[in-house]
């Protein structure tokens, strides 16, 4: 018996609100949305759509002139987005008889302007790669063995049911992905919320949580303020902690165009990088000395009266305290002592940024991947506020992120401290999303074993190891973690490898959902300390489709949103992430306590009771 939203009365229902709400979201969004519908709903200009469709028609006509060697000769051009970094380069994929045969960079894209980098030029390999995970697998005696989807769903669902019954919903940790589309990332957070937990996270915690906190605590907005193509309006640019030429190659295209019109480029880096090779001024400083260098630049700005006094008076609070602190403590001799940069070089950088406004600042993980990364980010923000460069074209904080949809997944995805859209976890936020999802608030509240955990942030991706290994009194939840889902994420970007291996061995359930066998799968199969190995541990690999085998939107680092068309059908036995979420939810929610039952292969629903009367259970 389930409480329905409309009447609040107890009524018999064949489906749990968990499954029904997920299915409703899928049926109303993913299958019915195409790129044209996405553009219309996004309110984008008609001209952009006409230009894109016209170019596609021309390419289709030209491609159709050739003849395929086999098949019916059907050739299609699909618009997709590169997945290798956060720039979001648009690609036209040419598909012949269902096979992705070649690709072209999109010339009318304002982001990549018809350009490819070496990584983007090889993007087809991600879809047709020979090392794809081809079918579900299970770890048996140290070796992965092929199993069916039915077996995988049955066993994982049964394990989840057992863990929930024995230890509650908080005993499972869900690691989402910045490789998911916006729609999938949103569904992932919804999935975990309806499961009854805030124990979910994704890659942004590792690569850019320091930026979000630093920028948001400075001016209330935790993201890049301008866009890649707007950098062509800059008169000067300061790169610090960013090797854009290698990490975000196409972003350098805009800076190189800007340099052709006189833009001054400053690169601050302990190494002489390919980005530094294009700089007008290269500053080598001691690793970790970002704050002394930035405050050294501020010293000369304040000393020479180059700050934007009107902007500061109108829009900035507390800059007088910063000015007092910088002039007293960050004199040229102290800056040299802390970061090793002579006064003349620091003065030249300050003069260039001040006398060539609007000027922009660019940073990436060279700043964020420090124990004081948050403070480094704030120092970068303060420089731009002092110069009046925030909120103007050609200025801003250009924060280059990592994955193709890390910004979108951060905005609406599986964050442990917030519901989609930065709503937080307050009761009012939950009531809002209960209404959006079409389920009763009290039903969601009942999914949480401890009502207090509903409004409390969950464990982060960098600390799930402690959720397994720490004494229970040292973690802020009732049970320790017993199950972990790695859904489009791998641990090779994190340290603590030995502890992670130990934690993996102690789990009851480890599920890896990925297009390729990841480092997680390799670590789980490695021999470990027999004393750490849980004899009842179950490890599964589920082949997810790539983003080229499904459709959805992606948000680039500068928050431009683009629609990905489905390029090819899922290869081998892979299934899309949203399909796996829905089918897994269906399997878990409808599975009876006894597993020996029959099930409809199409609907994935349990249909009849067990007929094996001799069963001991």
Q: What is the pLDDT of residues 57-67, one digit of tens each?
A: 334 434 444 44
Q: What is the pLDDT of residues 429-454, one digit of tens each?
A: 999 999 999 999 999 999 998 878 89
Q: What is the pLDDT of residues 71-123, one digit of tens each?
A: 567 889 999 998 888 888 889 999 988 888 889 998 888 888 888 888 888 88
Give strand ranges (E) for 186-304. 200-201, 236-240, 264-268, 281-283
| CATH 3.40.50.740 intervals, the chain | 137-207+406-544+576-606
Arithmetic mean of pLDDT, 265-279: 93
Arithmetic mean of pLDDT, 256-266: 93
Q: What is the pLDDT of residues 535-566, one digit of tens each?
A: 999 999 999 999 899 999 988 888 888 898 99
Arithmetic mean of pLDDT, 328-334: 94
Q: What pLDDT, on the 0 to 100 scale, is given for residue 409?
A: 81
Q: What pLDDT, on the 0 to 100 scale, is given for residue 614?
A: 37
CATH 2.60.120.260 for domain 35-128, yes or no, is: no
Residue 294 has pLDDT above 80, yes or no: yes
Question: ω before 452 within 30° of 0 (cis)?
Answer: no
Q: How far is CA 391 from CA 224, 227, 397, 533, in A?
A: 11, 12, 9, 55
Confidence of residue 33 (pLDDT cuts 50, 70, 90): low
Residue 281 has pLDDT above 90, yes or no: yes
Q: What pLDDT, on the 0 to 100 scale, is given for residue 27?
A: 57
User: Token pair for residue 257?
Assistant: 């165009």
CATH no., domain 137-207+406-544+576-606: 3.40.50.740
Chain mean position to CA 512: 17
Arithmetic mean of pLDDT, 268-288: 93
Q: What is the pLDDT of residues 380-424, one digit of tens each?
A: 999 999 999 998 999 888 888 777 788 878 888 889 989 998 888
User: Token pair for residue 399?
Assistant: 């924060």
Q: What pLDDT, on the 0 to 100 scale, is given for residue 422?
A: 85
Residue 235 has pLDDT above 70, yes or no: yes
Residue 592 has pLDDT above 80, yes or no: no
Confidence of residue 313 (pLDDT cuts 50, 70, 90): very high
Confirm if 560 and 48 have CB atoms less than 8 A apart. Answer: no
Higher pLDDT, 32 or 242: 242
- The C-alpha atoms of residue 333 and residue 342 are separated, in whole angstroms, by 8
Higher pLDDT, 140 or 226: 140
Highest mean pLDDT among 8-17, 33-42, 360-369, 423-432: 423-432
Residue 299 has pLDDT above 90, yes or no: yes
Arithmetic mean of pLDDT, 221-245: 86
Percentage of the chain beyond pLDDT 90 is: 44
| CATH 2.20.25.90 intervals, the chain | 35-128
Confidence of residue 21 (pLDDT cuts 50, 70, 90): low
Arithmetic mean of pLDDT, 261-274: 94
- Top CATH class, 210-399: alpha beta
Arithmetic mean of pLDDT, 261-270: 94
| CATH 3.40.228.10 intervals, the chain | 210-399
User: Token pair for residue 441?
Assistant: 């608030």
Q: What pLDDT, on the 0 to 100 scale, is given for residue 513?
A: 94
Q: What pLDDT, on the 0 to 100 scale, is given for residue 57?
A: 37
Arithmetic mean of pLDDT, 588-595: 55
Q: What pLDDT, on the 0 to 100 scale, is given for residue 35?
A: 54
Residue 263 has pLDDT above 70, yes or no: yes
Arithmetic mean of pLDDT, 313-324: 92
Percentage of the chain beyond pLDDT 70 is: 83
Contacts of range 228-231, beta carbons closer than 8 Å, 24 or more positions apart: 228/87, 228/111, 228/254, 228/398, 228/556, 228/557, 228/558, 229/110, 229/111, 229/113, 229/254, 230/393, 230/394, 230/396, 231/255, 231/258, 231/360, 231/394, 231/398
Q: What pLDDT, on the 0 to 100 scale, is given for residue 590?
A: 62
Window from 15-24, 111-120, 469-478, 590-599 with minimum mean pLDDT:
590-599
User: Token pair for residue 157?
Assistant: 């669902």
Q: What pLDDT, on the 0 to 100 scale, is given for residue 13?
A: 41
Window from 65-79, 147-161, 272-286, 290-304 with minimum mean pLDDT:
65-79
Residue 340 has pLDDT above 80, yes or no: yes
Confidence of residue 1 (pLDDT cuts 50, 70, 90): very low
| Cβ contacts of 508 within 8 Å, gap of 6 or more | 159, 163, 482, 483, 534, 536, 537, 538
Arithmetic mean of pLDDT, 220-236: 83
When the pLDDT of each residue in the chain is averaged and rounded to a whole number, the result is 82
Spatial CA neighbour of 113 closest among 275, 263, 252, 277 = 252
Residue 10 has pLDDT above 50, yes or no: no
Arithmetic mean of pLDDT, 316-336: 94
């Amino acid at each position: 018996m389930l409480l329905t939203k409309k009447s609040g009365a107890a009524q018999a229902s064949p489906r749990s609100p968990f499954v029904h709400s997920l299915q409703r979201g899928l049926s109303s969004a993913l299958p019915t949305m195409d790129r044209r519908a996405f553009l219309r709903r996004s309110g984008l200009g008609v001209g952009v759509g006409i230009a894109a469709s016209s170019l596609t028609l021309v390419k289709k006509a030209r491609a159709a002139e050739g003849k395929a060697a086999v098949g019916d000769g059907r050739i299609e051009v699909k618009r997709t987005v590169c997945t290798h970094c956060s720039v979001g380069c648009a690609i036209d994929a040419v598909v012949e008889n269902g096979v992705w045969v070649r690709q072209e960079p999109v010339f009318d894209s304002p982001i990549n302007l018809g350009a490819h980098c070496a990584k983007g030029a090889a993007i087809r390999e991600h879809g047709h790669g020979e090392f794809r995970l081809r079918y579900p697998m299970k770890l048996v005696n140290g070796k992965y063995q092929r199993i069916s989807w039915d077996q995988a769903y049955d066993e994982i669902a049964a394990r989840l049911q057992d863990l929930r019954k024995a230890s509650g919903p908080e005993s499972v940790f869900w690691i989402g992905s910045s490789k998911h589309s916006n729609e999938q990332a949103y569904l992932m957070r919804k999935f975990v919320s309806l499961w009854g937990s805030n124990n979910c996270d994704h890659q942004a915690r590792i690569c850019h949580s320091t930026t979000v906190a630093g920028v948001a605590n400075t001016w209330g907005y935790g993201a890049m303020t301008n866009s890649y193509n707007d950098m062509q309006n800059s008169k000067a640019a300061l790169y610090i902690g960013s090797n854009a030429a290698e990490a975000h190659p196409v972003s350098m295209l805009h800076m190189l165009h800007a340099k052709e019109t006189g833009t001054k480029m400053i690169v601050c880096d302990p190494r002489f990088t390919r980005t530094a090779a294009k700089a007008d001024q290269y500053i080598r400083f001691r690793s970790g000395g970002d704050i002394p260098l930035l405050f050294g630049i501020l010293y000369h700005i304040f000393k020479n009266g180059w700050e934007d006094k009107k902007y500061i008076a109108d829009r900035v609070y507390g800059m007088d305290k910063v000015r007092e602190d910088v002039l007293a403590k960050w004199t040229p001799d102290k800056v040299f002592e802390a970061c090793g940069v002579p006064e003349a070089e620091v003065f030249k950088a300050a003069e260039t940024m001040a006398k060539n406004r609007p000027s922009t600042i660019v940073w990436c993980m060279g700043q964020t991947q420090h124990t004081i990364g948050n403070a480094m980010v704030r120092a970068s923000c303060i420089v731009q506020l002092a110069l009046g460069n925030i909120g103007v074209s050609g200025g801003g904080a250009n924060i280059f992120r990592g994955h193709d949809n890390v910004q979108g997944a951060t905005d609406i995805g599986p964050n442990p401290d917030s519901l989609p859209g930065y709503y937080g976890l307050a009761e009012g936020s939950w009531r809002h999303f209960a209404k959006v999802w079409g389920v009763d608030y009290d039903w969601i509240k009942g999914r949480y074993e401890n009502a207090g955990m509903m409004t409390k942030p969950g464990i982060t991706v960098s600390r799930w190891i402690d959720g397994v290994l720490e004494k229970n009194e040292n973690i802020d939840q009732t049970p320790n973690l017993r199950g972990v889902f790695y859904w489009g994420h791998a641990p090779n970007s994190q340290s603590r490898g030995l502890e992670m291996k130990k934690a993996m061995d102690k789990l009851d359930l480890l599920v890896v959902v990925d297009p390729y066998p990841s480092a997680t799968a390799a670590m789980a199969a490695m021999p470990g300390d027999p004393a750490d190995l849980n004899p009842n541990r179950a490890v599964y690999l589920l082949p997810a489709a790539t983003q080229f085998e499904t459709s959805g939107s992606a948000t680039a680092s500068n928050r431009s949103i683009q629609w990905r068309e489905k390029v090819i059908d899922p290869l081998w036995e892979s299934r899309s992430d949203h399909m796996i979420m829905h089918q897994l939810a269906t399997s878990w929610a409808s599975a009876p306590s006894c597993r020996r039952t029959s099930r409809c292969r199409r609907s994935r629903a349990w249909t009849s009771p067990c007929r094996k009367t001799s069963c001991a259970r």
